[in-house]
Chain A
Amino acid sequence: MSNYYTDALILRVSLNDKTTRTEQIPRDIYEQYLGGRGLGVKILYDELAPKTDPLSPDNKLIFAVGPVTATKVPTGGRYAVITKSPLTGTIFDSSSGGYWGAELRRAGFIAIIFEGRAESPVYLWINDGTIEIRDASKVWGRDVYETTDYLLNETDDKAQVACIGPAGEKQVLMSGIMTDKHRAAGRGGVGAVMGSKNVKAVVVRGTQKVLSADDEKLTEVVKRARLLIKKNAVTDKSLPVYGTPVLVNVINEFGMLPTHNFQLGTFNDAGGVSGEKLLERLAVKQYNCFGCPIGCGRISKAYGEEVGGPEYETIWALGPQCGINDLEWIAMANHRCNLMGIDTISVGSTIGCAMELVERGLLDAPIRFGSTENVLDLIDDIAHLRGLGKDLAEGSKRLAAKYGAPDLAMQVKGLEIPAYDPRGVQGHALGYATSNRGGCHLRSYLIGPEIMGVPVRVDRDSVRGKPELVILYQDLSAAMDSMAVCRFTNFAWSVDDYAALTAASTGLQLDGRSFLEIGARIYNLERLFNNREGLTKEDDFLPPRFSKPLPEGNSRNRIVELEPMLSEYYRLRGWDDQGRPTSERLESLSIDTS
């Protein structure tokens, strides 16, 4: 039996001397940051010295789950990885579904903090209360699938494995951490940090019953939450039937499906790589993460082999972004990325960037838009830092700069922008620019209101009211990531629902406003971290391409009008005109920076 606050523990692993110790989450941190992303951000802000090299032993790698993890709260199986990113130099959290997070919580832990660097490759084996740091030399160099199978065989076949692939071992800046073989905490190079510490995997087996503060109340609130998921067309129909690839046709129709490295917003062959086509051609079965009634995951068959995914972002990155229309090949390329443990968004976007460099005669390489030729080999080369792959492994920002065309990198703060051309969505564009972890669609998913009309449709071309909505979504997302649940619940639940679920799970007195305040506190602390690292207003930018109109499609003639939104955003945030949180704002959020 394990209560989040009173029983569950933070595990601190010192890799330098292979020792471990446990500690409880301090009450004030629990109340102010909950867990998950918030907990990790608070620990990292407090404990990491400014300007720490992300790939040095001094960086910390934190895995964290939240107070609703492994409870009956739908989608409550997620975990977050928090660290200083080697790709962006910012504070970074990357999260994933699957089953690993719930297993960690059932083992009695809410977080693991890795410190230092192991002398040789190791993996951590947590078997309920028993902790071992074991030799990983036999799996070092192996891909994610082999590693997972080997470690399950060596520990307990009912355990869950979070591991890096060869890309993480090689400290590729876009490498991720994989669970369930094909689920990824993919973004920001968190796998490289794990690799830099010589940690190959964290294997967990947990059998404890997870307790909530008010089980009766939680049952009631969960019943309501499930009903809302059932009543929502996105969570009850679109996502279960098609998965996230349902977005391919939708976004293409709006002229926002980035094609040929964001040179176009419409992909002629979108139908051929759509969710509908995936269902017809490759679908094997649906995949649900722990406690998820939605089931957006896919298992597909590519060239006779069962593979995970592909998700919408992956289809875009390895498809239209590179001008590629072969869905089965995309599924296989996604699988290759999963084997290597590498972020499909950044890989695909960076390859698209390289293709444009080739198109413009700035790079001599055997790849070109619209062709799959040599791309699978290139993915392997990226993961193993071979040949041209070594250049691409550092991401599009460094690649484009090296070849003299920095403007061709479609990134913010070094993180590749995902699959929505911001010229067609002003609010979402502001979200990209102000995201604390760089070009990310999940910090403030305004595609919901601006494109899908959820909860209501707002004018995608208008800048009015957008800063306010971006802040609302950023704060809500930060709090959601800290409780921690899946972003897709956002189509069905409102702020009040998240607050009610968290309150019933924790016993904390929370309503919608105080829940959002937790999110705001996290967001401001992340901003402080980034400011401390030297990031400024100049980093809240978008690539210059988005100041020129798209030439075709249903978002043609539009540009991003960032500047007026940014000023208003800072003002509403309570930040100064350089984007720094004011002391008044920090005080109002009870953030102590002393």
Chain B
Amino acid sequence: MLFVFGVDPMDLTIEQLAKMIDHTVLKPDTKKSKIKQLCDEALLYNFGAVCINPVHVEYAAELLKDSSVKVCCVVGFPLGATLSEVKAFEAKKAVELGAHEIDMVMNVGAHRDNDYELVQSDMEAVVRASGDAEVKVILETGLMRDDEMIKACEIAVDAGVDFVKTSTGFGPMGATPHDVRIMRETVGPDIGVKAAGGIRNFKDAWKLIEAGANRLGTSAGVGIVEDFRWQQYSDAWMQPDKHCWDCPSRLANLNTQPKDVYLWYKQRCVTCEYRHENIFND
């Protein structure tokens, strides 16, 4: 057995993995039948929650009543650029309709303006409006440098949120172990870290968990849990990957990121200790 990431993969059971997953559908074209399927699958696999848009909360709550599967609703999604009052209203309504968890998108623009007061009050407004529901703050890490991400985590802790979350899945970058590790180190053990965006298979999931995530937002939950069964038949799946595969610097994209953020990421490639591996495009 390899201990590639410092933890024995066999320690993680399929049931534990499933309970860490927020089974997610957030696309604008989502039909009611898709929500039904999502909830059915969440019940079948006993996922942690379903993560959906506000318009589907009432229906999902009805389908999932009397189960341990939670309803998680996104707020201010996916840009986070609406008014705090609107986010708070959205959160309050979602909770009234049956949401147990609120995933809000932070005000990223204000954060880049160093208007930390506004960033924190924005989060606090949602925390207040959510009552007993857990609140997760989506940072959209692909729009930030590491120092900005650390600051955002510190503000989130001060605002009283329950989780910090990497990405919306609609932004420039998904979850990476690098970002999750920094977020976990910043918020400590008492605040949750949710990795979301681009988690396609059990190895992606496993690496993020090893980095410190205790919740995973993904639309590939069924595949991840099912494919996890392959793990018992070979250690070879868990061979270390090329360093660049998971590195946010490698994933940076000038078309989707602010220029200063993009260049900051790419500058790291130049000084990276693994730069000799950065030859081919895969």
Contacts and interface: CB of A to CB of B under 8 A. Distances in A.
Interface of A: 227-228, 231-232, 254, 449, 453-462, 464-466, 468-469, 472, 494-497, 512, 516, 554
B233 A455 contact: no
Contacts of B237: 449, 455-456, 458, 465, 469
A232 B223 contact: yes
Contacts of B229: 494-496, 512
Given A228-B222, A516-B233, A554 B203 contact: no
B255 interface: no
A496 B233 CA distance: 10
A458 B234 CA distance: 12
Given A457-B201, A457-B203, 13 more contacts: A454-B201, A455-B227, A455-B237, A456-B202, A456-B237, A458-B236, A458-B237, A459-B239, A465-B237, A495-B229, A495-B233, A497-B226, A512-B233
Contacts of A459: 239, 241-242
B227 A472 contact: no
Given A228-B226, A460-B282, A494-B230, A465 B236 contact: yes
Interface of B is mostly: helix
A554 B234 contact: no
- How extensive is the interface on chain B, given as a class? 20 to 34
A494 B227 contact: yes
A573 to B, nearest CB: 14
Interface in B233-280: 233-237, 239, 241-242, 245, 280
6 contacts: A232-B223, A453-B201, A456-B202, A456-B237, A495-B229, A495-B230
A239 B227 CA distance: 19
A462 B240 CA distance: 10
B67 interface: no
B232 interface: yes
Contacts of A466: 236
B65 interface: no
Contact of A254 (B239, B241, B282): B282
Contacts of A449: 237
A464 B245 CA distance: 17
Contacts of B202: 455-456
B112 interface: no
A290 to B, nearest CB: 25
B223 A472 contact: no
A503 to B, nearest CB: 15
Contacts of A512: 229, 232-233
B281 interface: yes
Given A456-B227, A460-B282, A494-B229, A468 B234 contact: yes
Contacts of A469: 234, 236-237
Contacts, number: 76
B32 interface: no
B2 to A, nearest CB: 9
Contacts of A464: 236, 239
Contacts of A516: 233
Contact of A462 (B201, B204, B239): B239
Contacts of A461: 280
Contact of B236 (A228, A468, A494, A495): A468
A554 B280 contact: yes
Contacts of A496: 229
A445 to B, nearest CB: 14
A227 B201 CA distance: 17
A426 to B, nearest CB: 12
Nearest to A232: B223
A10 to B, nearest CB: 32
A465 B235 contact: yes
B282 A554 contact: yes
Nearest to B281: A554
Contact of A456 (B41, B201, B235, B281): B201
Contacts of B227: 454-456, 494
Contacts of A465: 234-237, 239
A512 B232 CA distance: 10
Contacts of B234: 465, 468-469, 472
Interface in B208-241: 222-223, 226-227, 229-230, 232-237, 239, 241
A458 B239 contact: yes
A497 B228 CA distance: 12
A461 B230 CA distance: 21
Nearest to B206: A456
A464 B237 CA distance: 10
A458 B242 CA distance: 9
Contacts of A554: 280-282
A90 to B, nearest CB: 27
5 closest Cβ pairs, A-B complex = A465-B236, A455-B227, A456-B203, A494-B229, A456-B201
A254 B282 CA distance: 9
A455 B201 contact: yes
A74 to B, nearest CB: 15
